[in-house]
Amino acid sequence: MTAALPDFPWDSLAEHTATARAHPDGIVDLSVGTPVDPVPEAIRDALASVSDIPGYPTTHGTPQLRAAAVDALRRRHGIDGLDPDAVLPTIGSKELVAWLPTLLGAGAGSTVVIPELAYPTYEVGALLAGASVLRADGLTQLGPQKPAVLWLNSPSNPTGRVLGVDHLRKVVEWARERGTIVVSDECYLALAWESEPVSVLHPEVNGGSLDGLLAVHSLSKSANLASYRAGFVTGDPELVRKVLAVRKHAGMIVPRPVQEAMTVALTDDKALFVQRERYAGRREVLRTALQDSGFRIDHSEAGLYLWATRDEDSADTVGWLAERGILVAPGTFYGPRGGKHVRVALTATDERVSTAATRLTP
């Protein structure tokens, strides 16, 4: 039987949300990483262009979509040698994260390793499968364990930490010795500020073999497609085949218009560049304002968040910011070690971001 799931973290923010909303000049909501900028027109056109197709889409996605994903990973992240058949579209990446241990058969008696500070759905996915969860950032913490699945997330949500090639390589070698599947959640890979994140699929990390490796990608943040639900998983062709087989039975299919939209989004590097510049600008404004008002920013070298602290209890920081009409997420949402940090998302309009800065440093 599935272990009880934790409470949905954001539900507990209701009181602080009400406080922030009561600000006379309105709330600046930096508590969730939801895009606010427009969906590029070419993507919307692509969505509409196939809206008259009545038949079922394929679970594996169109050949064009799979080829576009392979090409995008080559151009944007230097990943060569991916087989388009080993690309599998997903209905956003959250559902995949939540169901992957189940889809891989990692159930009761198996262990899923997740980062100490992590996107909450990794834990949920392990619990849904009936597996045990172990939080660890270092291999020495794992001792003689042989986990079924080990999650990586670089750049990290919530910390923005980037794992170096050596670290990734050691994890892959360690996992291969134990038959552990490494799943790397790379949804922030394109948002690099101070260091260059590397995919687990890069040959420098895996020695040119994809055995036992999966990478999870999302178009939510890179192409403003959170509302479309658009992601994909790729890597070891054997593992992708296994996941595809179950998803076909279960009807876990990306709608055909979304497949078309994804194909265009994966081809358009200019739109990605424009979006990255927007986030870079907002990051600079928020980082400076937070630092000027006494915060320290830890990690945050890439990704969509600032990991900020005043070395006090994160609940106090959330309350202090809410009184200024700024809503952020407490670090405790991401693991017990987050108790002194808050996560500040870069996803608000330029106007809201500069309002937040003014409130922080009047």
Ligand X SMILES: Cc1ncc(COP(=O)(O)O)c(C=O)c1O
Give the residue with the Cβ less far from ligand X, 123 or 185: 185
Q: How far apart are CA 115 and CA 201, in angstroms?
A: 19
Continuous H helices in 207-327: 237-250, 256-267, 269-292, 314-323
Give the residue with the Cβ less far from ligand X, 13 or 187: 187
Concatenated DSSP letters of 125-165: HHHHHT-EEEE-SSGGGGTT---SEEEEESSPTTT-----H
The packing angle between helices 14-21 and 314-323, to 10°, is 30
Give the residue with the Cβ less far from ligand X, 210 or 304: 304
Instruction: Give the rounded distance of the alpha carbon of 321 from its chain centre.
Output: 25
Max CA distance (Å), the chain: 58
Nearest distance, CB of residue 314 and ligand X, angstroms: 18
Nearest distance, CB of residue 226 and ligand X, angstroms: 5
Provide the β-strand partners of residue 234: 87, 215
Give the residue with the Cβ less far from ligand X, 93 or 300: 93
Nearest distance, CB of residue 22 and ligand X, angstroms: 27
Give the residue with the Cβ less far from ligand X, 97 or 344: 97
For residue 155, cis peptide bond before it (omega within 30 degrees of 0): yes
Nearest distance, CB of residue 358 and ligand X, angstroms: 27
Give the residue with the Cβ less far from ligand X, 60 or 229: 229
Nearest distance, CB of residue 39 and ligand X, angstroms: 14
Nearest distance, CB of residue 175 and ligand X, angstroms: 19
Residues that bind ligand X (CB under 6 A): 33, 92-94, 97, 119, 153, 157, 185, 187, 218, 220, 226, 231
Residue with the two structure tokens 């079922």: 56
Instruction: Give the rounded distance of the alpha carbon of 273 from its chain centre.
Output: 18
